Amino acid sequence: MGWVIKLENVTVKDRDKTIIENITLEVERGEWVGVIGPNGAGKTTLLKVIAGRIIPDEGRVEVRGSIGYVPQLKKIDEFIPLRVYDVVLMGRYGRLGFLKRPGKEDKRKVLEVLERMEMEGYAAEPLGLLSGGERQKVFIARALVSEPEILLLDEPTTGLDVQAQREITGLIRKIHEDGVTVVMVTHDLNPVSPYLTRVVYMKKKIFACGEPSRVLSPEVLSKLYNAPVDVFERNGHICVIVEDAHYE
Amino acid sequence: MSSILAYEFMKRAFIASVLVGGICSLIGVFVILRGLSFMGAGIAHASFAGATLGMLLNLPPFPFSLVFALLGALFVGWAEKRGELRSDIPVGIVFSSTMALAILFAGLMRRYDPRILGYLFGSVLSVSWSDVIFLLVTGFLVIAFISLFYKEIVFAIFDREYADISRMRPDLFLHLLLIAIALVIAGSLKTVGVILVFAEIVTPAAAAYELTHSMKALILLSVTFGILSSVLGLLISLFFDIPSGASIVLVVTFIFFLSLIFSPKRRRLKEV
């Protein structure tokens, strides 16, 4: 299959503080990689390095293919003068480049993605009035209209209710099945563990990396979170319970 | 109305008021969306310090006010980008230090220059044709910048991070926006004054923000409110013989309160 993301000895510092250190990682085409770790582990920084938003202080980053990025869900102004359609259309801007205005093809693509996500009825809705789960779907749609080969997601299910978490997970699963390589930062592996091809555990450095069933062990996770961790299997799902852990 | 416009200075005053109302309310949309409302006041004070320096040196105040406004805007942009200071801190520093400079320059003058008061509170009736031409050029530049780079500016304002990942140079466009704001403030200073230019920028846009969820309607409404309040304000000031800047700002403030009362957004929020 060949790699689409390759990081070699990547280190990122913020003045004297090391954010991520000596990360070496290859992601193969078609993989779905979950990145987990405690607060301040450098997970978001890792995604931003891959996306080209942060230039590492040391090491090399190579990416083969276009990137779609879904940032962490932030609180937004309810009065924001943007409709769902406008936000999703922004996903086309990078392809358009400077000075060019969106054309028929861009508008068609936006409506097509919204339809595929069963959100066509939301096109004219103001962004600020949507629920957290709906907004997250809008941001995923925005990433998808750029027709990415690699999708980077930063904690896409954080702060959402169980129903919305399921919907988002199902959506990412469909996107992955369509052949998109997915790298996803999460602190809750339970909903996605059956679908992940690999899990990366990090705490500034990569702690462990491999297939979920092999790497998900109470010993590795307890060390990662500095707390007792229980791992068990139920209906094919690997469940992780961190006791008294400090979640993000 | 026609008898008022028979006077040359009144023609200039009306044209300048409409131009200031239109340009300020246009750039104001991006000022409030970017959360830079306080910055307008900071740049206006920097611009005022520049004008007083020009007067102190017996040189035309305008080029100095423009340079100071640009330096103030770029300092705020630079400090914010470095991330070492929250944006309200550099704005606060620009605001207070340039006001101190303005007082210092005014104090160093051998004789009090009456133009100082004009720059502070605005003197629309003393606007010259060259001021009007500068406002026209500023308006043309600002409209051209916003029309050409509308998508880039909106993208940078709403999601700087995603715009950066999409290689859309958000920092460049946000800096250009700051320069446009500085240009508008320096150009409007003589007409409406340091204290009121801030209201001309923020209030029409804030009123329009209450009424729509669409960016294009927001721009259209803001510019309409800006121009309407300028014309109405100037007419009221002439008929009742009151200061024009104050009357323009009070009219736009009245429009803002009407928008607040009839805001469909707030009604919808209550229903939700």
C-beta separation of A3 from A28 below 8 A: yes
Mode of pairing for the β-strands spanning A150-154 and A181-185: parallel
Cα angle B132, B250, B140; round to 5? 25
| Residue ranges of domains in chain A, CATH in brackets | 3-242 (3.40.50.300)
Kindly state the tokens that stand for A88.
């999703």
Higher pLDDT, A6 or B91: A6
For the segment B199-219, the average pLDDT, to the nearest whole number, is: 94
Residue B84's pLDDT band (boundaries 50, 70, 90)? low
Residue B271 lies in a domain: no
- What is the tens place of the pLDDT at every residue in A79-106? 889 999 999 999 999 889 898 899 999 9
Least confident stretch, B73-77, B106-110, B216-220: B73-77
Interatomic CA distance for residues B211 and B263, integer angstroms: 5
Least confident stretch, A41-50, A101-110, A158-167, B75-84: B75-84
CATH number at residue B58: 1.10.3470.10
Interface of A with B in 39-98 (CB under 8 A): 51-53, 67, 69, 71, 78-83, 86-87, 90, 93-94, 96, 98
Residue B7's pLDDT band (boundaries 50, 70, 90)? confident
Q: Which residues of B touch A69 (CB under 8 A)?
A: 162, 165
Q: Which residues of B touch A86 (CB under 8 A)?
A: 215
Q: Which residues of B touch A52 (CB under 8 A)?
A: 165, 167
- What is the tens place of the pLDDT at every residue in A112-165? 999 988 888 999 999 998 988 899 999 999 999 999 999 999 998 887 888 888
C-beta separation of A149 from A66 below 8 A: yes
Inter-chain contact B159–A99, Cβ cutoff 8 Å? no
Beta-bridged to residue A200, according to DSSP, are: A35, A209
Longest dimension (CA), chain B: 63
Residue B269 lies in a domain: no
Interatomic CA distance for residues A222 and A100, integer angstroms: 52
pLDDT of A73 > 70? The answer is yes
Question: What is the number of domains present in chain B?
Answer: 1
Average pLDDT of chain B is 89
pLDDT of B79 > 70? The answer is yes
Predicted confidence at residue A248, as pLDDT, reads 42
Least confident stretch, A6-10, A227-231, B90-94: A227-231
Predicted confidence at residue B23, as pLDDT, reads 96
Residue B270 lies in a domain: no
Interatomic CA distance for residues A182 and A197, integer angstroms: 10
For the segment B204-219, the average pLDDT, to the nearest whole number, is: 95
- What is the tens place of the pLDDT at every residue in B212-256? 999 999 999 999 999 999 999 999 998 998 888 889 999 999 999
Least confident stretch, A19-23, A50-54, B111-115: B111-115
- What is the tens place of the pLDDT at every residue in B164-190? 999 999 999 999 999 999 999 999 988
pLDDT of A216 > 80? The answer is no
Residue B155 lies in a domain: yes
Residue A157 per-residue DSSP state: T
Least confident stretch, A83-92, B14-23, B193-202: B193-202
Count the neighbouring beta carbons within 10 Å of the beta carbon of residue B255.
21
C-beta separation of A28 from A193 below 8 A: no
Predicted confidence at residue A247, as pLDDT, reads 46
User: Strand, coil or helix: what is A187?
Assistant: coil
Using a CB–CB cut-off of 8 Å, the residues of B that contact A are 33, 148-149, 151-152, 155, 158-159, 161-169, 209-210, 212-215, 217-218, 265, 268-269, 272
For the segment B90-94, the average pLDDT, to the nearest whole number, is: 82
User: Strand, coil or helix: what is B91?
Assistant: helix
Predicted confidence at residue A82, as pLDDT, reads 93
First-to-final CA distance of chain A: 34
Mutate to test the interface with B, among A48, A98, A146, A150 (most CBs of B within 10 A): A98
Q: Is A126 on the interface with B (CB under 8 A)?
A: yes
Residue B197 lies in a domain: yes
Residue B272 lies in a domain: no
Residue A111's pLDDT band (boundaries 50, 70, 90)? very high
pLDDT of A236 > 80? The answer is no
Inter-chain contact B159–A67, Cβ cutoff 8 Å? no
Inter-chain contact A82–B158, Cβ cutoff 8 Å? yes
Residue type, A170: G
First-to-final CA distance of chain B: 47
pLDDT of B4 > 80? The answer is no
* Closest Cα in chain A, distance from residue B72 (Å): 27
Domain that holds residue B115: 4-264
- What is the tens place of the pLDDT at every residue in B25-46? 999 999 999 888 888 888 999 9
Residue B130, C-beta contacts closer than 8 angstroms, at least 6 positions apart: none
Beta-bridged to residue A238, according to DSSP, are: A233
The pTM score is 0.87
Residue B184 lies in a domain: yes
Residue type, A230: D
Predicted confidence at residue B269, as pLDDT, reads 61
Question: In residues, how long is chain A?
Answer: 248
